[in-house]
Amino acid sequence: MTVVAARPEIAARAAEFAAPLALIVLWVAFFIATPHFLTLDNIGDLLVASTILTVLALGQQFAITVGGIDLSVGANLPWAAAILGYLATHGYPTAVAIAGAILGGLAVGMINGLLVGRLHMTDFVVTLGMLSVLNGATLLLTHGNTQAVNSTFLRTLALDGIGPVRWFWLLALIAALVVAGIVFRTRVGTHLLATGGRLEAARDTGIAVNRIRLFAYAMSGLLCGIAGVMLVARNGGADPSLQTTYLLSSIAAVVLGGSSLSGGKASVLGTVCGAVLFTSLINGFTILGISQYYQPVAVGAVLLLAAGIARFRK
């Protein structure tokens, strides 16, 4: 009886480290499959590519921590990028365009938070509706065309760094440290975890749960705006296409990383590892010459795996 009872606890403890363990296994598998995977140049490029998803997933973690979900990130990302592209192509300074993109992402998050927190609307419906609204608004703003952005600063941000350390890595690291500091070292973080853990109990203890949920979605939108700036810097322009792959991957990275879909639990390190894992999948498939049509299959399979792992954390 003791052994049987211990098995769920062992599975739950193993699930806590699912993302880093899966990342190690994946890297070893790709290294065995091709010697071109674990090279300094490829790992450097892989980590740069993972930073956008990392920042996006860190924002998604705020929403999931309070027991919600932000489906609008798939459209908020190109929306923020489109604002940057629009302002840059209409003669505004790069700093103004970047600020506009970040504020645009933040505004979306605040609207989501107000509708969910203040009006008590279902987060799934709110963010799904916002995804559709933003998708249309982005197409209207860009007329459905990719907007090229010629900025020396953004090119430097995407390509350069301090020695071997790239600027994108530092941005993602700073974002992760700030998020970890907020969630685990501040009263707001305690309230975020309490609200996601037991909403009514948090309300009974005097926590302003409506404000906390507003804050969570605002942070998701803010980080989405930052990710939008990084996306433009990396691609050299703003693509108005709906980013459903980023949406699915951001959710899966958070859950696979150790956070609970029901809220009340978060893991910044796990989320970062989850984001790197998904980027490694795409990178490894590309090096091995596997058709890009298999990539969404792999992402979906890992998402299902993350959902299965979440079962053992309850």
- Asked if 85 and 232 touch (Cβ cutoff 8 Å), the reply is yes
Q: How far apart are CA 248 and CA 303, in angstroms?
A: 7
What band does 1 get if pLDDT is binned at 50, 70 and 90?
very low
pLDDT of residue 169: 93
Q: Helix crossing, 244-256 with 73-89: angle to 10°? A: 130
pLDDT, tens only, 273-300: 999 998 999 899 999 988 878 877 877 7
Domain ranges of the chain: 36-313
DSSP H helix total and E strand total for the chain: 14, 4
Q: What is the mean pLDDT of residues 163-191?
A: 94
User: Two tokens at 237?
Assistant: 């322009």
What is the percent of the chain with per-residue pLDDT over 70, rounded to a whole number?
93
Q: Helix crossing, 187-197 with 209-235: angle to 10°? A: 110
Q: How far apart are CA 183 and CA 216, in angstroms?
A: 10
pLDDT of residue 167: 95
Q: Comparing C-alpha atoms, which of 173, 197, 185, 191 is closest to residue 259?
A: 197
pLDDT, tens only, 55-89: 999 999 999 999 999 999 999 999 999 999 999 99
Q: Which of 2-16, 89-103, 113-127 has the lowest mean pLDDT?
A: 2-16
Q: How far apart are CA 235 and CA 224, in angstroms?
A: 16
pLDDT, tens only, 135-150: 999 999 999 999 999 9
Q: What CATH number does domain 36-313 carry, 1.10.10, 2.60.40, 1.10.3470, 1.25.40?
A: 1.10.3470
Q: Comparing C-alpha atoms, which of 46, 10, 18, 1 is closest to residue 306?
A: 18
pTM over 0.85: yes
pLDDT, tens only, 207-247: 999 999 999 999 999 999 999 999 999 999 999 998 888 99
User: Two tokens at 155?
Assistant: 């090119």
Give the strand pairing for 161-162 and 165-166.
Answer: antiparallel
The 8-class DSSP code of residue 71 comes to T
SS (H, E, C) 89-139: HCCCCHHHHHHHHHHHHHHHHHHHHHHHHHCCCCHHHHHHHHHHHHHHHHH
Q: Residues 203, 189, 100, CA angle at the centre, nearest 5°? A: 110
What band does 13 get if pLDDT is binned at 50, 70 and 90?
low
